[in-house]
Amino acid sequence: MLNQLNGWGPDGKRAAISITFDNMGEASELERGLDPVMGESGKHSSLEILPDLLRILEGSKITYFVEGLNCEMYPDVVKAVQAAGHEIGVHGWRHENWGTTDAARRGDALKRSTDAFRALGVDVKGFRPPGGKVDAAALRKECMAVGLNFASPLGEIGDDTEEGGFTSLPFAWQHVDAYMLHPGLGALRQMFGDPEEPVSLDQWGRVIDDLLQKVKREGSHATLIFHPSMLVTSEKAVDIFAGFVKSVREDEDVWAPTCSELVGWLEQNGQG
């Protein structure tokens, strides 16, 4: 695990936390051949709750990894997230499973996405490959080919690396809300040695709170992933998320940058 002996960020905080979102609109469902989950307003559930989540995030900054298709379907929403002070990252064109998609299609999807975001005036710098684990060397090559300087793949908590102008900011499955809570992901949980049944909301809340305390004890960094389409399923889930955001924002020992802010700082300050 990476530790910064002189602290994290410009103010030398004890620890660092990256709060991130994944998935916008129905791109993922379209890719998997599923019916989109629509809210009461007729909008996709992830879009229906987004204004509430942006209000919760006032005073905080996140990185939202968005599928490129949203530049065509919901360009105003993409720009509104950026205007609220958050970073936009790439999450494939239509949430292609990166580990099972051939190299040619991966390259096309990544280029199409980065071109679409930049045409919209959104300066994307990083990529989170949908679906989890990927080949690190191929990921680096694909990202750098389209001018991206970081990725956030599945990996070990805090195992951040920077080399030759490219940074990896991995996440662990246990710090992904959908992995912990979604009833339909039992097989994935079993594949990685976890129980088939999802945890309760209270258990999930303890997991993310414990992570915050862990990085503070160890002087390290961790990445968390939240899905608006997961949070919308329960008021309690939103309350837990809001409480966590507030705890991070008010904790004087924690730096909570966007992913590209963290990458820029790591490039300037090295790793210890």
- Select from 171, 175, 148 the least CA-distant residue to 160: 171
Beta bridge partners of 22: 65
How many whole angstroms separate alpha carbon 270 and alpha carbon 162? 8
The torsion angles phi and psi of 268, rounded to 5 degrees, stand at -80, -30
Q: Give the pLDDT confidence score for residue 23 in this predicted structure.
A: 97
Any residues with CB less than 8 A from the CB of 52 and at least 6 apart, and which?
Answer: 238
State pLDDT tens for residues 81-134. Answer: 999 999 999 999 999 999 999 999 999 999 999 999 999 999 999 999 998 779
Asked whether the predicted pLDDT for residue 1 surpasses 60, the reply is: no
State pLDDT tens for residues 252-270. Answer: 999 999 999 999 999 988 6
C-beta of residue 126 within 8 angstroms of C-beta of residue 110: no
Q: Give the pLDDT confidence score for residue 240 in this predicted structure.
A: 98
Give the mean model confidence (pLDDT) for residues 175-201.
96
Q: Give the pLDDT confidence score for residue 158 in this predicted structure.
A: 75
CATH superfamily of 15-269: Glycoside hydrolase/deacetylase (3.20.20.370)
C-beta of residue 70 within 8 angstroms of C-beta of residue 24: yes
- Select from 9, 10, 16, 42 the least CA-distant residue to 218: 16
Domain positions in the chain are: 15-269
